[in-house]
C-alpha cells in the first residue's frame, strides 16, 4: 500500500493509498492521542491534468505548476541529500511564490476503469 506519514511534536498525519490510481485515500490525523479519520474518493489524476495543460497551450496561458514549482521541489530534495550526508538539519531560504493555484482550477473526472485484458501473443520470444 502506498503510504506516507508526517510526524510532528503533538501528533502525526498518516495517508494511506495516496499514490495509487484506484481506491479511496484515507487520512488519519492524530493530535494529543485523539484520532480523526477522513476518506477522499479516488479520482482520475491524469485526465484532468492533460485537459488543463492542453487548454493552456490552446489559450497561450502559463500552466501552473510551472518550472518554478519544480525548482522548489529540487531544492528540497537536494537539502534532504545534504542533511543525510551531514547528519544535520539544512535550512532553506523561503521561495516567494509568484502564483498560487486556486480551487477554481480543479477539474474532476471519475476514475478510469482498468480495461479488459486482450488475448494476444507476447511480443518477446522465449
Residue-wise pLDDT for 60-82, tens only, equals 988 877 778 788 889 999 999 99
CA distance 103 to 101: 7
Is pLDDT of 101 > 70? no
Helices (H), 25-126: 46-58, 67-86
Query: Mean pLDDT for the chain?
Result: 84
If one counts every other C-beta atom within 10 angstroms of the C-beta of residue 12, the result is: 12
Instruction: Establish if 70 belongs to a structural domain.
Output: yes
What is the reported pLDDT for 99? Answer: 62
Is pLDDT of 116 > 90? no
The answer to whether the predicted template modeling score (pTM) of the entire model surpasses 0.75 is no
Q: Give the residues across from 11 on adjacent strands.
A: 31
Asked which of 24-28, 31-35, 106-110 is least confident by mean pLDDT, the reply is 106-110
What is the reported pLDDT for 68? Answer: 80
CA distance 42 to 106: 14
Is pLDDT of 94 > 80? yes
Domains identified in the chain, total number:
2
Instruction: Establish if 105 belongs to a structural domain.
Output: no
What is the reported pLDDT for 28? Answer: 95
Instruction: Establish if 109 belongs to a structural domain.
Output: no
Looking only at Cα atoms, what is the longest distance across the chain? 59
Range of the domain at 17: 1-43
CA distance 87 to 80: 10
Instruction: Establish if 113 belongs to a structural domain.
Output: no
Give me the phi and psi of 93, to 5 degrees please. Answer: -70, 140
Amino acid at each position: 500500500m502506498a503510504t506516507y506519514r508526517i510526524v510532528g511534536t503533538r501528533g502525526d498525519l498518516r495517508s494511506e493509498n495516496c499514490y495509487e490510481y484506484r481506491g479511496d485515500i484515507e487520512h488519519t490525523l492524530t493530535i494529543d492521542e485523539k484520532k480523526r479519520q477522513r476518506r477522499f474518493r479516488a479520482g482520475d489524476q491524469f485526465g484532468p491534468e492533460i485537459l488543463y495543460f492542453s487548454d493552456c497551450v490552446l489559450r497561450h496561458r502559463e500552466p501552473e505548476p510551472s518550472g518554478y514549482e519544480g525548482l522548489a521541489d529540487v531544492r528540497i530534495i537536494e537539502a534532504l541529500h545534504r542533511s543525510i550526508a551531514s547528519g544535520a538539519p539544512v535550512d532553506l531560504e523561503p521561495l516567494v511564490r509568484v502564483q498560487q493555484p486556486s480551487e477554481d482550477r480543479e477539474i474532476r473526472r471519475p476514475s478510469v476503469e482498468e480495461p479488459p485484458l486482450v488475448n494476444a501473443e507476447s511480443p518477446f520470444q522465449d
